[in-house]
Structure 1
Amino acid sequence: MSTPWTRRSARRSLADDTRGRAELAEWERIAQLLADAATGTAHDPDTDPHVQEELAAEAAAAAAREADLREAQRIAARADELEALREFGTLEQAEPREGDEAVRDELTRRAGSYVQTDVDAWLAHALAAHRGHYADPAAREAAAGLLPPPVLAHAALLAELARLVPDAGPGQLVFAARLTAADPEAAADLAAFLTRATGTTDPAGNQA
Structure 2
Amino acid sequence: MDAGAVAAALEDALFDARQDSRHEDLADDVRGRAELAEWERIDQLLAAAVPGTVYDPETDDVVQAELAADAAAAAAREAELREAARIAARADELQALRRLGTLEQAQSRDGDEAVREELTRRAGGYAQADVDAWLARALAAHLGHYRVPAAREAAAGLLPQPVLAHAALLAELARLVPGTDADQLAFAARLATTDPEATGALAVFLARARS
TM-score normalised per structure 1: 0.90
In the alignment, structure 2 segments of 5+ residues that lack a partner are 1-7, 22-26
* 2:172/2:206 contact within 8 Å kept: yes
1:109-139 Cα offsets, whole Å, 9 max, x none, are 0000010000000000000000001001110
Query: Cα distance 1:7–1:122, how it changes in 2: closer, same or farther (>3 A)?
Result: closer
Percent identity (aligned): 72
In the alignment, structure 1 segments of 5+ residues that lack a partner are 200-208
* 2:13/2:36 contact within 8 Å kept: no
1:155-166 matched pairs, under 5 angstroms: 155-166=167-178
The CA deviation at 1:7 is 7.3
Q: Distance in 2 between matches of 1:23 and 1:9?
A: 12
TM-score normalised per structure 2: 0.89
Query: SS at the partner of 1:97?
Result: coil
The number of residues matched between the two structures is 196
Query: SS at the partner of 2:179?
Result: coil
More displaced 10-residue stretch of structure 1: 176-185 or 150-159: 176-185
Q: Distance in 1 between matches of 2:149 and 2:193?
A: 26
Give the match for residue 91 of structure 1: 103
Q: Distance in 2 between matches of 1:94 and 1:133?
A: 11
Query: SS at the partner of 2:150?
Result: helix
Q: Distance in 1 between matches of 2:170 and 2:39?
A: 66
Q: Distance in 1 between matches of 2:50 and 2:94?
A: 66
1:21-55 Cα offsets, whole Å, 9 max, x none, are 11111010000001011222221001011000000
Query: Cα distance 1:189–1:8, how it changes in 2: closer, same or farther (>3 A)?
Result: same
Counterpart of 2:63, as a letter, is: V
- In the alignment, structure 1 residue 11 sits paired with structure 2 residue 17: yes
1:136-155 Cα offsets, whole Å, 9 max, x none, are 11100000000000000000
Query: Cα distance 1:154–1:7, how it changes in 2: closer, same or farther (>3 A)?
Result: closer
More displaced 10-residue stretch of structure 1: 18-27 or 142-151: 18-27
Q: Distance in 2 between matches of 1:6 and 1:27?
A: 10
Residue of 39, 46, 55 corresponding to 2:67: 55
Give the match for residue 205 of structure 1: none
Q: Distance in 2 between matches of 1:44 and 1:120?
A: 58
1:49-77 Cα offsets, whole Å, 9 max, x none, are 10000000000000000000000000000
- In the alignment, structure 1 residue 104 sits paired with structure 2 residue 109: no
